[in-house]
Amino acid sequence: MSGIVNEQTFVFDARGVAKRFRHAAIFGALESLRDGETMRFVNDHDPLPLLQQITQRYREQVRVHYVDRSDGQVVIDFSVHPEQYSGSAGNCGSSGGCGCSGG
C-alpha cells in the first residue's frame, strides 16, 4: 500500500513498525495531520486498546471510520476535525496540525 491515497489521505502501515514503538508513532502521525486530513491506518488486527487511547487523548477531534475489518486486515481512516473539540487542553489547528496531546 502506497504512502498517499490522495492529497488529504496518508497511509500509516502499522505492520512495519515495531510493536513497542507503534502507539507513539501513531500519535505522532495523528498530531502531524492538518485540519481535514486523514491517516489511513493499516494493521493485521483490530486495535481496540489503541482506539480507546485515541478517544481519551483526542476526544471528538479525531474521527474513526473502518474501511475494512476483515480477518488479518484492518483498515481505519482517522480524520482530524479540531473544530469539534470543546475541551481546554490542546491546541488543534493553531500550528497546522492536531497537536492535542494534552498540554
Per-residue pLDDT of the chain (103 residues; tens, 9 = 90+): 556 667 789 999 999 999 999 999 999 999 999 998 999 999 999 999 999 999 999 998 999 999 999 999 999 999 998 765 544 344 444 444 554 544 3
Give me the torsion for CA of 49, 80, 2, 12, rounded to 10°: -30
CA dihedral 36→93→83→43, nearest 10 degrees, is 50
For the chain, domains (ranges, CATH) are: 4-84 (3.40.50.150)
18-22: Cβ within 8 A, 24+ apart: 22/50
Q: What pTM does this model have?
A: 0.76
